[in-house]
Amino acid sequence: MIHVSKITLAAICCIFMLGGMSHAFAQEGAMTDTVITHSSDGIFSSTASYTFQVNSTFKNTEVGKVSYIVTTEAGKKMKSDSVKVKIGGHGSGSYDFDIAGLQPGFYKINFMVNVAGENDGYDDTLRKAFGIKPSQITSQYGKPADFESFWHNARLELDKVNPEYKVTEIPDTAKNDKRRVFKVEMKSIDGLLIRGFLTEPINHNKNKKFAVLLGLPGYQVTLGPMVGNDPDVAIFTLNIRGSGYSRDVINVRRETYIVLDLEDKNKYILRGAVMDCVRAVDFICSRPELRHDNIIAAGGSLGGFLAIATSGIDKRINFCSAANPIFSDVRNLIHEVDWPFIDIRKYVNTRPGLTMDKVMDNLDYFDAKNFASDIECPTLVGIGLVDNIAPPNNVYTLYNGIRAPKHIIIFRDLGHEIGKKYSIYEGRWMRDTFALF
């Protein structure tokens, strides 16, 4: 063990502090840079337009370049440009970039500044994304000819399973939030037990029936009871098989879940998960106090996928809300995202005889865009332009395939998330659709 006296320790600290101070003196001043996107949602009809601004508080003049590089979401370089810059001490520079000639689609753009001065310098990269005419984005890949019959057969298989609904009131929560809370258990396809929570506003009007929000979970997210002050809407949060409170039989590691039984589309985990959502709709429709014609399916990420899939299959859904839905246009997705293909490739490598081609053939039956064209209810979609899990190109492919009334809200600077604006719009549109004025 090394013993260091207090004096020695103080001396060492002083040396480090002085060293830091001398470094700070050499670097007196700073540079900041910002990018202004000349479109509130990052969407352009033809030419993308940006202004890159650099401010310096250095004493010395800085010389270097400001540049950009545009790539597809898959990383293919499309365009680049640079300008030489000379920024005086305590000065600033503003540089306009117009990027023209790109095909409809979404692109990543990185702005870089690299300057150097007498005793200092500055390098930085700002990452943005933009879209050109996204309404024209389509996929070159169609859906399997037997897509609808595949899911129809799954539905028939689900129908053979007695749901054995078990509803248990949880009394304590109700006192606190003006809602009754119920734990719900039911049997889904393959005879698996799944669980959810139903919360209903306490209302003494016997005529009152509640619209229902079916809340669907993100990847491996546990959904408990969800409450709130809304007096018109019951909320049913579902834990799909192998997720949250429904792990009795399937209880796997996070990275394993998405590849479970991937080699067989009739056993793949998402087939059961989607049928769990349909069973949840069965449950809602079994309750006399709930409105069976006012059901909204809503979720984000995997929940967004489940909302799209369930709404495509089950016409009892009256409103669909999908934020950052994953798994759209999977054959193009494979070139654009790391997850889940890192785990899928690993899985393929451990399964003799299984190939990526076979996996992709199976995943065609679970491609969100293939459900989208079957949706008949109003649908709201939310995306983040710098989402690297549900990239905008792929989500737009899904969105453009929806033939029902639809709306998309784009968050220019967000990744795999959506902003409050989405939730507010969702609430308003849902209320209008269900005439909850």
Partner 1 sequence: MIPLHYFKIKLKSMSLLKNFTKTLLVVLILILTFQNKTFADGGFPVRPGRLLISPSVSYFFASSRWDSTGVKKPFPNGGKYSSIGATIYGEYGISRRFAAIVSLPFVYNDFTQNNTKSATSSGLADLETGIRYYLANIDFIYYFSLQGTAITPLYSNNASLGYGEEGGELKLAFSGSGHVGDLSSYFNASDGVRQYFGTNGPIQNRYNATYGLSLDEEYENQLSVTVSGINSWSNDKSFNSAIPGTNKDFSFLQASLSYGHSFSHEISLFLSGGEFLLGRNTGVGTTVSLAFVYRLDYR
CB nearer to partner 1: give 12 or 342.
Answer: 342
Question: Residue 381 forms beta bridges with which residues?
Answer: 322, 408
Q: Say which residues have a Cβ less than 8 Å from residue 6's Cβ, sequence separation at least 6.
A: none
List residues binding partner 1 (CB under 8 A): 205, 207-209, 213, 215-221, 223, 226, 228-233, 235, 237, 254-255, 298-301, 303-304, 321, 323-324, 338-339, 342-343, 346, 382, 389, 416-418, 420, 422-429, 431-432, 435-437
To the nearest whole angstrom, how small is the minimum distance from the Cβ of residue 421 to partner 1? 11
Which among 297, 249, 254, 250 has a CA at the least distance from the CA of 277? 297
Which residue, chain included where needed, has tokens 């053979």? 160
Query: Between residues 154 and 250, which has the closer beta carbon with respect to partner 1?
Result: 250
Residue 303 CB, nearest approach to partner 1 (Å): 5
Q: Which of 388, 155, 414 is nearest to 275 (CA)?
A: 155
- Rounded CA-CA distance 207/93 in Å is 66
CB of 273 to partner 1, least distance (A): 14
Distances (CA, A) of 263 to 85, 259, 309, 329, 343: 55, 8, 20, 19, 13
CA 176, CA 301: separation in Å to the nearest integer? 30
Nearer to partner 1, 172 or 338 (CB): 338
In the complex, the smallest distance separating the C-beta of residue 199 from partner 1, rounded to whole angstroms, is 11
Calculate the alpha carbon distances from 96 to 43, 53, 260, 298, 414 in Å: 17, 9, 49, 40, 23
Q: Which is nearer to partner 1, 165 or 425 (CB)?
A: 425
Q: Give the residue with the Cβ less far from partner 1, 144 or 231.
A: 231
**The pairing of beta strand 105-116 with beta strand 62-72:** antiparallel
Q: Shortest Cβ distance from residue 55 to partner 1 (Å)?
A: 31
- Give 252-302 as a DSSP string: --HHHHTTTTTT-TTT-HHHHHHHHHHHHHHHHHH-TTEEEEEEEEEEETH
Query: Which lies closer to partner 1 via its Cβ, residue 103 or residue 349?
Result: 349
Q: How far is the CB of 151 from partner 1 (least distance, A)?
A: 23
- Give strand ranges (E) for 304-412: 319-323, 379-384, 406-411
Task: Find out whether 132 and 48 touch, Cβ atoms under 8 Å.
Answer: yes
Is residue 115 within 8 Å of residue 122, measured between CB atoms? yes
Cβ distance to partner 1 smaller for residue 10 or 424: 424
Closest distance between partner 1 and the C-beta of residue 222, in Å?
A: 9
Q: Considering the complex, what minimum distance in angstroms separates the CB of residue 334 from partner 1?
A: 15
E-strand ranges in 117-174 read 121-132, 166-170
Helices (H), 102-168: 147-159
Lookup: tokens for 79: 């365009």
Provide, rounded to whole angstroms, the least separation between the CB of residue 368 and partner 1: 15
Report CA torsion sign: 22, 26, 30, 31. Answer: negative
Q: Are strands 406-411 and 379-384 parallel, antiparallel or unpaired?
A: parallel
CB-based contact 77:69 (threshold 8 Å) = yes
Nearer to partner 1 by Cβ, of 106 and 305: the residue is: 305
Looking at the Cβ atoms of 148 and 343, the one nearer to partner 1 is 343
Which of 331/407 has CB closer to partner 1? 407
Q: How far is the CB of 300 from partner 1 (least distance, A)?
A: 4
